[in-house]
Chain A
């Protein structure tokens, strides 16, 4: 049973990891705790479902459609919700994020209806067993998509001009601006990319559990936040590791402690990390300039 629980945890963890990456990226660039991220994840799932069920797109195209739709939502949020208060104190930006989250939830309820909708069975979900591990096709797809998207992201951030500009903007926005980097464009790009990644997670979750509903982003949004903090907020490999740790902890916690506490376990880990290593596993502790 232990190995099975570990494989459950890995599948869950890779979903958290995907969600957490987009979250941590946005924080890395503009230090915004984007609480609307979970709802962008939900929007992505709904866009993909619409593309698949209404426009009858093939699965892969519907997937890209969901990511593109969510990226657009992310861009609009950045432009209309965050941009106007960008130079205001951080707390305003934070409140805007919460407002945007509530807006998106209610928007989805009006457009798609409040009830849970079933995601059609799109992939023949076969179960593979080896060395006590059980993994299903969909779990493998989730893990695979996570790894591929992460590789693409690492390439963009580390080896392209745009990525360099992103890293510069993250380090010091004003200096980057002085060096001729169009920081606005970088911020929008980051939002679009982060949202697309979040949407990918949302779509995979919709496919995995075959259920899509307007409130589906709330808890995963919080969990992504916890995963990002565990890994060191702002760090992309940290977010991935944090997600996996969370997934494993939840599955094993539900198995060996009690299934009633599984959501609490995430936050217990958060408190523990904040007490022991406040910067997170991969985070650098930066002394505040006085």
Chain B
């Protein structure tokens, strides 16, 4: 981590230095360097996701560069740190928007960050591929923003259906984080679950990054006798909630979203997160063309299993690289390609965007078994 932060500081300084001197050098038809940018939480509570994403994007770029680049131009990555904080995201966006070399941005992981920054990218006409899940991000007002993950609405609906039909649960309690992401999930899940005929018996909230003690909420939930606990939040809190539920005697199955799909969940949660079910868009054992090669290359380079967001970031980078080689190194060209792409062969499944720039894809259900994330036995 220490090394990584040094590297980041170095990258930031380099990108600043490059930003001062580089803008005049692009007069020829063939730029010798092509720049993509990635804005992610590199520090803070969601730092793990930003780290994985940047690693995956770098892998995609390395592959292209090793093969001679695009029309002879090497592709470089600029990394911005939004710290997972919506106050910080616009600053990062502003920096990229002011940089003429940036052709496209992959990022903002946190929904609140993407929401805060998307207007700036839109004004600058930079195509953005995000993996944030809040539905408001693709409300039609920012045609340059594309989403490669499912909206929280789609996810919540899939999950509600899974809970009702496949798990046979009727009384669900919801514990959600008090932000755009958690609120959206809580509302959409409740709506879908009620429509199916189930009952939401309790909804409790907490603050991401501040709450460590969940015992009042859990005790309250326990008194309502649910048969399922749906946790709409991220891995740190989910691990704590799972542990505290166990010690307070709330022993019901738990359901989560892709926000907890991370090895860190198991490291923090230990035995308590065993058996927890959650949404996934990617798993090494669920194979599409290229999945195996990607997992192998990622493991070789970083000595780590890629997670969902690594796969999505890799696909995003591949999409943009393909766009550049098809339509040339311009922002308009990339946008045109993303608008028209049909069933692009991604490692996490084929990618197409609908007229609202939302990806069309299904979900898989993952679970923790013997300290490992594996696909659940019952799939939707």
Contact = CB atoms under 8 A, between A and B. Distances in A.
B247 A210 contact: no
A114 B43 contact: yes
A251 B216 contact: yes
Contacts of A4: 219, 222, 248
Interface in A251-282: 251-252, 254-255, 258-260, 262-263
A19 B48 CA distance: 30
Interface size bracket, A side: 35 or more
A115 B216 contact: no
B212 interface: yes
A114 B215 contact: no
B243 interface: yes
A209 B207 contact: no
Given A215-B209, A263-B207, A118 B247 contact: no
A260 B204 CA distance: 8
Interface residues of B, number: 37
Given A134-B249, A205-B212, A210-B240, A114 B217 contact: no
B217 A115 contact: no
Nearest to B219: A4
A127 interface: yes
Contacts of B209: 215
A134 B219 CA distance: 10
Interface in B185-208: 204-207
B345 to A, nearest CB: 33
A216 B213 CA distance: 12
Nearest to B207: A263
B136 interface: no
Contacts, number: 96
Interface in A202-253: 205, 209-211, 213, 215-216, 219, 250-252
Contact of B205 (A11, A250, A260): A260
Contacts of B247: 125, 127, 136
B268 A5 contact: no
Interface string A85-122: 00000000000000000000000011111111010010
Contact of A5 (B178, B211, B219): B219
B165 interface: no
B219 A114 contact: no
A116 B2 contact: no
A114 B44 contact: yes
A132 to B, nearest CB: 12
A130 interface: no
A254 B205 CA distance: 10
Nearest to B220: A255
Nearest to A129: B249
A259 B210 contact: no
B46 to A, nearest CB: 9
A179 interface: no
A260 B178 contact: yes
Nearest to B249: A127
Interface in A174-220: 205, 209-211, 213, 215-216, 219
A115 to B, nearest CB: 5
B48 A115 contact: yes
Contacts of A213: 45
A211 B217 CA distance: 19
B223 interface: yes
A211 B240 contact: yes
Interface of B: 1-2, 5, 43-45, 47-48, 178, 204-207, 209-213, 215-217, 219-220, 222-223, 236, 239-240, 243-244, 247-249, 264, 267-268, 270
Given A5-B219, A110-B5, A210-B270, 14 more contacts: A4-B219, A4-B248, A5-B216, A8-B213, A112-B1, A115-B48, A118-B239, A127-B247, A209-B213, A210-B243, A215-B209, A254-B217, A254-B220, A260-B205
